[in-house]
């Protein structure tokens, strides 16, 4: 049943091998390993976990008319030509999020899925500007998400951190205003990130707001090298002082950059299904994840916006194992990287890695 659900989730991702390949006993053993081991997710946008069913529920709750008549119509709309075509639908879906309870329900729904996937730690992105621009109070957003994360620690035994992202296609002035809005709730936020349309929006555009964020004790990450060139990764590292690079798949075009990422073990939070859906990679078989791993880079596997891209973390692991022929050792390394690349303290990382090692 697990394999059946897996194939159903990834049916629209190119490059997945057929059922005969799924019957190989060694591959099935690795798939069982993937489903069982503990892991962390470090690159997931909470707004991108809004499944069509919940979208309709929240639209009804908040008396919002949707441009879709059915769940099937929503799913049919999830066909993207590039990052911008995805963002257009992504931001339209976010409009149903109005009340604190909406943000709680959205986050809790994702956390329950994470529990089923044996995710032990999560570092969640949220996009306050996409909500405050609609007149939603910053407090409404962060309170709903934070309350769900707190409940997950107690009920689901999932630890978490919250990272506030700035929309790079808006002016830096807007990001600075958003950062100031966050100050009363800064104890709920561990860091800041940079997301949305990458092309023609270099990290250097946000130097001042990232400096101010660091001055207030916030850690920094940034989306770079997804659609944008390797130069954007350099800028994220040297100008924004990013501790992690989100995506970073175009780093392989720059050997000097690859050497730096490897030498410094700078984590890359890779999202394979997302890259295929948004045409960064033509097929899953062509994805650079395995090559990045073989070069000794600290790569992790994540779901990005799973409601839109056809799968959660385990689905991404399973799809990549099939398409790229990943060994069990490679799967172990990816899971271990997810803990070492997290913002947990050394003791917490060690404890989770020990849990993982029990499955070796």
Cα separation, 308 vs 76, whole angstroms: 10
Taking the CA atoms of residue 161, residue 122, residue 75 and residue 70 in that order, the dihedral angle to the nearest 10 degrees is -60
Residue 138's Cβ-side half-sphere holds a number of Cα atoms within 13 Å equal to 17
Q: Which residues of 319-330 are buried (b: 16+ CB within 10 A; e: fewer)?
A: bbbbbbebebeb
Q: What angle do CA 58, 62, 68 make, to 5 degrees?
A: 60
Q: What is the DSSP letter of 51?
A: -
CB 293 within 8 A of CB 95: no
Q: What is the DSSP letter of 342?
A: S
Residues 6+ positions from 152 with CB-CB distance below 8 Å: 108, 111, 114, 115, 158, 160
226 is catalytic: yes
Q: Which residues pair with 39 in a beta bridge?
A: 119
Taking the CA atoms of residue 356, residue 312, residue 114 and residue 49 in that order, the dihedral angle to the nearest 10 degrees is 150
CB 298 within 8 A of CB 336: no
Q: What angle do CA 334, 81, 122 make, to 5 degrees?
A: 30
Cα 249 to Cα 149, 270, 274, 289, 305, distances in angstroms: 29, 7, 12, 8, 17
Phi-psi category of residue 221: left, alpha or beta, with phi > 0 → left and psi -120 to 50 → alpha:
beta
Q: Phi and psi of 173, rounded to 5°?
A: -55, -40
Choice among 41, 51, 226, 227 that is catalytic = 226
Residues 6+ positions from 65 with CB-CB distance below 8 Å: 59
Q: What residues act catalytically? A: 226
């Amino acid at each position: 049943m697990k394999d059946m659900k897996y194939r159903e989730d990834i049916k629209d991702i190119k490059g997945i091998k057929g059922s005969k390949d799924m019957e190989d006993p060694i591959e099935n053993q690795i798939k069982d390993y993937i489903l069982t081991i503990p892991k962390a997710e470090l690159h997931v946008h909470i707004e991108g976990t809004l499944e069509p069913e919940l979208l309709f529920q929240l639209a009804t709750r908040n008396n919002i008319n949707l441009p879709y008549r059915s769940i099937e119509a929503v799913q049919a709309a999830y066909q993207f030509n590039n990052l911008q075509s995805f963002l257009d639908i992504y931001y339209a879906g976010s409009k149903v999020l109005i009340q604190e309870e909406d943000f709680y329900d959205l986050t809790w729904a994702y956390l329950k899925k994470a529990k089923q996937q044996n995710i032990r730690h999560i570092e969640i992105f949220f996009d306050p500007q996409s909500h405050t621009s609609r007149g939603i109070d910053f407090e409404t957003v962060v309170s709903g998400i934070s309350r769900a994360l707190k409940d997950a620690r107690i009920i689901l035994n999932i630890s978490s951190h919250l990272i506030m992202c700035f929309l790079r296609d808006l002016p830096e002035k807007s990001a600075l205003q958003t950062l100031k809005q966050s100050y009363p709730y800064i104890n709920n936020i561990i860091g800041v990130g940079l997301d949305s349309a990458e092309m023609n929006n270099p990290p250097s555009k946000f130097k001042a707001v990232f400096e101010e964020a660091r001055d207030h004790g916030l850690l920094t990450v940034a989306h770079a090298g997804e659609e944008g060139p390797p130069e954007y990764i350099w800028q994220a590292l040297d100008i924004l002082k990013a501790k992690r690079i989100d995506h970073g798949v175009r780093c392989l075009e720059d050997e000097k950059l690859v050497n730096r990422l490897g030498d410094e073990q700078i984590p890359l939070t890779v999202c394979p299904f997302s890259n295929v859906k948004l045409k960064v990679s033509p097929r899953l078989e062509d994805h650079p994840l395995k090559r990045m791993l073989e070069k000794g880079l600290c790569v992790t596997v994540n779901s990005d916006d799973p409601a839109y891209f056809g799968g959660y973390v385990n689905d991404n692991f399973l799809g990549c194992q099939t398409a790229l022929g990943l060994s069990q050792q490679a799967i172990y390394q990816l899971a271990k990287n997810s803990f070492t690349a997290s913002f947990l303290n050394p003791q917490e990382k060690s404890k989770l890695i020990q849990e993982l090692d029990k499955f070796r």
